[in-house]
Chains A and B, each alone.
Chain A
Amino acid sequence: GNSVTQMEGPVTLSEEAFLTINCTYTATGYPSLFWYVQYPGEGLQLLLKATKADDKGSNKGFEATYRKETTSFHLEKGSVQVSDSAVYFCALRSNYGGATNKLIFGTGTLLAVQP
């Protein structure tokens, strides 16, 4: 079945450090891929997305490239800030078969950025 695997946290970084959060997926066909972010005390919100192979999603300095050959969608940011501290979820939506409105989420990665 479809699944998402992301690196376990917590990830603790100093301000201005480089961030990578790994995400790999298993899916039939060509899924759409997403990164959602959950700030403390809030619900999830979309950070970025990519709908086909080699697409790059970007937002707020974060980037992720849809790599079909490695079935990956790693999240990166060149210089993190304290305000980026949050839980990050990788997710996919299968475009194959029925129930294509369902999103499948990874387990989430807590990022803590220290000043």
Chain B
Amino acid sequence: DVKVTQSSRYLVKRTGEKVFLECVQDMDHENMFWYRQDPGLGLRLIYFSYDVKMKEKGDIPEGYSVSREKKERFSLILESASTNQTSMYLCASNQQRSANVLTFGAGSRLTVL
């Protein structure tokens, strides 16, 4: 069964801490995405990547960065976490020339105190 795995389901961090959210997919997908999900706002795209070492800003990239050193792994980095980054973070992937069916991970719920 194809999978997108997010290593941490729940994290609690303090304001100012550096946070790494890891995502790994085993489907050899070219595209990977990071979304955040907030009540009443739906899913908003933070960053996406079309290939190794490639990244593009989504709709809300401020306060975040990403890293894609290997095809299967896409990391989301909060350099200095703030309370307004408390959210559910969802990683997804798909093939370059698919009908854009995204495969999602189960999510990482981050709380910043």
- Write the residues of chain A forming the contact surface with B, with a CB cutoff of 8 angstroms: 32, 34, 36, 41-46, 49, 51, 89, 93, 99, 101-103, 105-108
List, sorted by A's number, 22 A–B pairs whose CB atoms are closer than 8 Å. A34-B100, A41-B106, A42-B106, A42-B107, A43-B105, A43-B106, A44-B43, A44-B90, A46-B102, A49-B99, A51-B99, A99-B56, A101-B48, A101-B50, A101-B94, A101-B100, A102-B45, A103-B45, A105-B35, A106-B42, A108-B42, A108-B43
Give the chain B neighbours of A101 by CB distance below 8 A.
31, 48, 50, 94, 96, 100
Of chain A, the residue at the smallest CB distance from B97 is A101
A75 to chain B, nearest CB (A): 15
Q: Is B104 part of the contact surface with A, judged by Cβ < 8 Å?
A: yes
Q: Is B4 part of the contact surface with A, judged by Cβ < 8 Å?
A: yes
Q: Is B12 part of the contact surface with A, judged by Cβ < 8 Å?
A: no
- Write the residues of chain B forming the contact surface with A, with a CB cutoff of 8 angstroms: 4, 31, 35, 37, 40-45, 48, 50, 56, 58, 90, 92, 94, 96, 99-102, 104-107
* Complex CA distance for A41 and B50, rounded to whole angstroms: 28
A9 to chain B, nearest CB (A): 10
Q: Which of B43, B50, B105 contacts A105 (CB 8 A)?
A: B43
* Complex CA distance for A103 and B45, rounded to whole angstroms: 9
> Is B41 a contact of A103 with CB atoms below 8 Å?
no
> Is A43 a contact of B4 with CB atoms below 8 Å?
yes
B66 to chain A, nearest CB (A): 15
> Is B100 a contact of A32 with CB atoms below 8 Å?
yes
Give the chain A neighbours of B31 by CB distance below 8 A.
101
Sort A-B residue pairs by CB-CB distance and give the 6 closest, nearest first: A43-B104, A107-B42, A105-B43, A44-B104, A93-B100, A43-B106
